Copies of this chain bind each other. A is one copy, B any other.
Amino acid sequence: MPKSHFPEIRELDLFQGMKEDHFLILMRGSYVQNFPPQIELISEGDPSDFLHIVLSGSVDLFSGWRGRETSMATVTPISTFILAATIKNAPYLMSARTLEKSRIALVPSENVRDVFEMDPLFAQAIVMELARCYRSVIKSTKNLKLRTSLERLANYLLRQQIRADNAAEFDLLIEKRRLASFLGMTPENLSRAFKSLRAYGVIVDGTRVQISDRSDLERFAKPCPLIDDQSI
């Protein structure tokens, strides 16, 4: 497939530095598809046939066990998901569903493994990406084990404020029930947690969040780079 069909994919950090003919091998048999919201793209346990790349929209990674379900992460453009399963040729550990209308590129896992073996710069880029993902999950585990649900919410809001260029007011990017699941709590508990944070200047109306005094909230949340900083 000619790369002009989805040129944005070439911009991915993962594909920088790799030889053009290797990139073309990678793209062989790849395709882009538009999905409506709430479509399950992959199910945990399935063999990893394709590396997925979110070009637009967003995708929820989630897992289940015995009828319970939990949201693990949200993937936004432009990033890949299930890279580790692809490389290891192992079953997916998480399921994925579109949160909104999304455009997804699908690259045959076999291509990724083939090119990974022939292109050292691609292998290096994969190392960097996997190291980033690994550290991100470690931070998330620390967040879960070291903080109460109220502290997790407070720090989540502080991180979201940074994403929103430190605006005093911003919108939640995911619905509250999913946020609750992501933070490891029930929707009811999240609702009450928002109310508790009013004591630290957090005002919530629908998806709109206003942080009247960041330093006030920080005094409670005690954010810490080794948990909250996305860039290290």
Contacts and interface: CB of A to CB of B under 8 A. Distances in A.
Contacts of A225: 45
B137 A141 contact: yes
B135 A65 contact: no
A94 interface: yes
A84 B147 contact: no
A148 B143 CA distance: 17
A201 interface: no
Interface string A117-141: 1001001101110111111011111
Contact of A70 (B45, B137, B146): B146
Interface residues of A, number: 49
Contacts of A193: none
Contacts of A5: none
B85 A135 contact: yes
A90 B146 contact: no
Contacts of A132: 88
Contacts of A66: 146, 222
| Identical chains in the assembly | 2
B64 A146 contact: yes
Interface string A134-175: 110111111011110000000000000000000000000000
A176 B133 CA distance: 31
A96 to B, nearest CB: 13
B93 A138 contact: yes
22 contacts: A45-B225, A63-B145, A63-B226, A68-B146, A70-B146, A84-B134, A84-B135, A87-B131, A88-B131, A88-B132, A90-B232, A93-B135, A93-B139, A120-B120, A120-B123, A123-B124, A127-B127, A133-B134, A134-B134, A134-B137, A137-B138, A144-B145
A4 to B, nearest CB: 30
Nearest to A69: B146
A51 interface: no
Contact of A128 (B87, B120, B144, B146): B87
